Amino acid sequence: MQITIEDISPVEKRVDFEVPWADVAPRLHTAYEKLRREVHLKGFRPGKVPRQVIERLYRNQVEGEVASELVELSVRQAIDEKQIQPVGPPTVDKLELKQNEPLRFSTRIEVRAQVTPKDYAGIRVSRRPPKVTDEQVAQALEGYRRQHTAFLPVEGREITADDDLLRVEVHGKVGELKIKTKTVTVDLTDENAGGLPGLAPRLRGVPINASGLELRYRLGDDIAIKSLAGKEISLRATIKEARGRRVPALDDELAKDTGEAGTLDELKAKVRDKLIEADKQRIRREMASALVKEVVKRNDFPIAPSLISRHAENIVMRVKAQLMMAGIDVEAGGSLDDEAMKKEVHAEAEESARASVLLRAIAEREGLQVDAGDLQKRLVELANARGENVNKLRTELENSGRIDGVRAQLLEEKALDMLLAQAKIVDEDPDSLIIRPDQGGGQRLVLTPEEAVAEARTKGGEPPGK
């Protein structure tokens, strides 16, 4: 097989193929013989249809199938031998299959740009101090009370209370999107209970045996599922069951029941520590996001449209998953236009795609690698989260080719960890200055605002935030 590669652009290659007739003819023969054994034609016994009759009736079908098979095999071979890194399926054109001649065709393959990352070490990034308010601690303690709350059938009243737990059958629409009839559990203390924002408040103070209750309202712009913002809701709700709650007192007995503390004061201290740790993780994510944005800003390079499209598809899939969790039938009526949604998230998808390319390029330049232990640890995490056997999950990912995606994600995470380790962190709170001499070769990575201003002026630049 002859392969000729031409660079059309930094992110696209044209690959011309010529497959010898000696490789094509046996496949055509095998395909025709298989069809002879299987086809049933009037006037011929099974398996006795003449080859010329089969060719006359089924030539286009057979040649099309054989050509497709050879195209797939040839492209795969070219990708392996020439070390091409496609970011999307190739586009095939100029396919020619003629008797006693080589199979000729061309493909256009979009590839990941060859990027030499720059200016990514020692980026200054702001870090806020972790904070936990008394109100957050109180809310967390209320969570413990909810966990240990008993729910008992409602007796002696006919109207739902503000803290009841209901089992409700609902159906209707969110804008033009249909909500299939389903039964959901609705905690009337939770504004977003039942998967649909605003449902719980409208079931407070209604008859406990309400049937076909009509609910109409419009969602605000500040809801968590942004794709539902401003949509009009039209529902029919039937209450199947109502239970009242018996909430335990917030005292030492509750603390003991949690199994985490012996007294209420001990439980409060542990809750505060957990909230501080959670906020530290949030801060790290904020810093990582800021770092990635800055690295993308400092490195301009061409990027394949297919790669942006793939990231846009992933974003749209996440949005649709959120809608499905809210009980919305995302396939009914064709109300959701995937292409329109991809256009809406194009800017976000492009930034995500550029970040992915850059992080991998940085990992390669720095010699970062994902070893077998890293991969196994992540697979265990994924398997535990899904409640699956890790070996079964690994086999599934390997057979579907998705195991490489897991490796790529781990490699990007390693690159991001390195960027964070090398970053110059400007601590927003001078009183909580942290010096980390174990990273960056003993360099001071965290600066007070005053130090940051002095350093910027020394280098003739502008102080941060100016």
335-346 confidence digits (pLDDT tens) = 577 888 899 999
- The answer to whether residues 81 and 50 belong to one domain is yes
Distance CA 148, CA 446 (A): 43
The answer to whether residue 463 sits within a structural domain is no
How far apart, in whole angstroms, are the C-alpha atoms of residue 127 and residue 161? 44
More confident site: 226 or 258: 258
Same domain, 176 and 101: no
Q: Are residues 238 and 272 in the same domain?
A: no
Is the CB of residue 110 less than 8 Å from the CB of residue 304? yes
Q: Is residue 441 part of a domain?
A: yes
Tell me: pLDDT of 355 over 90. yes
**Mean pLDDT (whole number) for 239-249:** 93
Q: Tokens 């939770």 belong to which residue?
A: 190
Strand partners, 232: 218
CB of 122 closer than 8 Å to CB of 421: no
Query: Is 414 a member of any domain?
Result: yes
Last residue of a domain, one of 182, 217, 246: 246
Q: Give the span between the Cα atoms of 192 and 187, in whole angstroms.
A: 9
pLDDT of residue 227: 73
Whole-angstrom distance, CA of residue 193 vs CA of residue 86: 44
Mean pLDDT of 333-358: 86
Helix (H, G, I), strand (E, B) or coil at 236: strand
pLDDT at 332: 60
* Whether residue 102 sits in one domain with residue 43: yes
Are 284 and 412 contained in the same domain? yes
Least-confidence region, from 2-16, 103-117, 255-269, 444-458: 444-458
Structure-token pair, residue 318: 């996440």
Asked if 227 and 333 sit in the same domain, the reply is no
The reported pLDDT for the residue numbered 376 is: 95
Residue 141 domain flag: no
Phi and psi at residue 242, in whole multiples of 5°?
-130, 135
Q: What is the pTM of this model?
A: 0.68
The answer to whether the beta carbons of residues 428 and 127 sit under 8 Å apart is yes
Residue type for 420, please? L
Task: Assess whether pLDDT exceeds 60 at residue 442.
Answer: no
Q: What is the pLDDT of residue 85?
A: 84
User: Alpha-carbon torsion 399, 400, 401, 402, what sign?
Assistant: negative
pLDDT score of 334 more than 60: no
Q: Are residues 288 and 409 in the same domain?
A: yes
Side chain identity at 128, as an amino acid letter?
Answer: R
Q: How far is CA 212 from the centre of its chain?
A: 37
In a domain, 131, yes or no: no
185, 214, 246 - which closes a domain: 246
- 233 contact partners, CB below 8 Å, separation of at least 6: 172, 173, 174, 196, 198, 215, 216, 217, 218, 219
> Which of 67-76, 200-209, 240-249, 451-460 is predicted least confidently?
451-460
pLDDT above 70 as % of the chain: 90
| pLDDT at 446 exceeding the cut of 50 | no
Q: Are strands 12-19 and 103-110 parallel, antiparallel or unpaired?
A: antiparallel
CATH number of residue 239's parent domain: 3.10.50.40
Q: How many Cβ atoms from other residues are within 10 Å of residue 61's Cβ?
A: 11
Give the containing element (helix H, strand E) for 216.
strand 213-218
The DSSP element (H or E) to which 281 belongs, if any, is helix 264-298
**The CATH number of the domain where 102 resides is what?**
3.30.70.1050
* Domain range enclosing 100: 2-110
Does 194 share its domain with 105? no
- DSSP β-bridge partners for residue 446: 425
Q: Name the band, by pLDDT with cuts 50, 70 and 90, for residue 429.
A: low
Alpha carbons 178 and 419: distance in angstroms, whole number: 45
* DSSP code for 106: E
Query: Worst-scoring range by mean pLDDT, 356-360, 380-384, 434-438?
Result: 434-438
Asked if residue 449 belongs to a domain, the reply is yes
Tell whether the model's pLDDT for residue 330 goes beyond 50: yes
Q: Is 119 helix (H, G, I), strand (E, B) or coil?
A: coil
279 and 333 part of one domain: yes
DSSP state of 301: -
pLDDT of residue 83: 86
pLDDT tens-digit map of 118-176: 999 999 999 999 999 999 999 999 999 988 999 999 988 999 999 899 999 999 888 88
CA distance 314 to 73: 28
Look at residue 71 and tell me if it is in a domain: yes
The string of DSSP letters for 413-451 reads: HHHHHHHHHH-EEEES-GGG----TTSSTT---EE-HHH
Note whether residue 452 is domain-resident.
yes
CA atoms 301, 306, 310, 312: torsion sign: positive
Q: In this structure, are 240 and 301 located in the same domain?
A: no
Domain end call among 61, 92, 110: 110
Whether 223 shows a pLDDT value over 80: the answer reads: no
How does residue 464 score in pLDDT terms, banded at 50, 70 and 90?
A: very low
95 with 161, same domain? no
User: What is the secondary structure of 10-69 as a DSSP string?
Assistant: TTEEEEEEEE-HHHHHHHHHHHHHHHHHH---TTS-TT---HHHHHHHHHHHHHHHHHHH
Asked if 186 and 176 touch (Cβ cutoff 8 Å), the reply is no
Confidence of residue 320 (pLDDT cuts 50, 70, 90): confident
Total structural domains in the chain? 3
For residue 177, the Cα-to-chain-centroid distance in whole angstroms is: 23
Q: Which pLDDT band holds residue 350 (cuts at 50, 70, 90)?
A: very high
453 or 207, greater pLDDT: 207
Task: Tell me what percent of the chain is helix, strand and coil, each rounded to the nearest 5.
Answer: 50, 20, 30
Whether residues 221 and 284 fall in one domain: no
**Percent of the chain predicted with pLDDT > 90:** 59
User: How many angstroms separate the Cα of 27 from the Cα of each of 49, 66, 96?
Assistant: 19, 7, 16
Please tell me the predicted confidence (pLDDT) of residue 197.
82
Can you name the residues that pair with 109 across neighbouring β-strands? 13
Q: 355 or 432, which is more confident? A: 355
CATH code of 290's domain: 1.10.3120
55 phi and psi, to 5 degrees? -65, -40
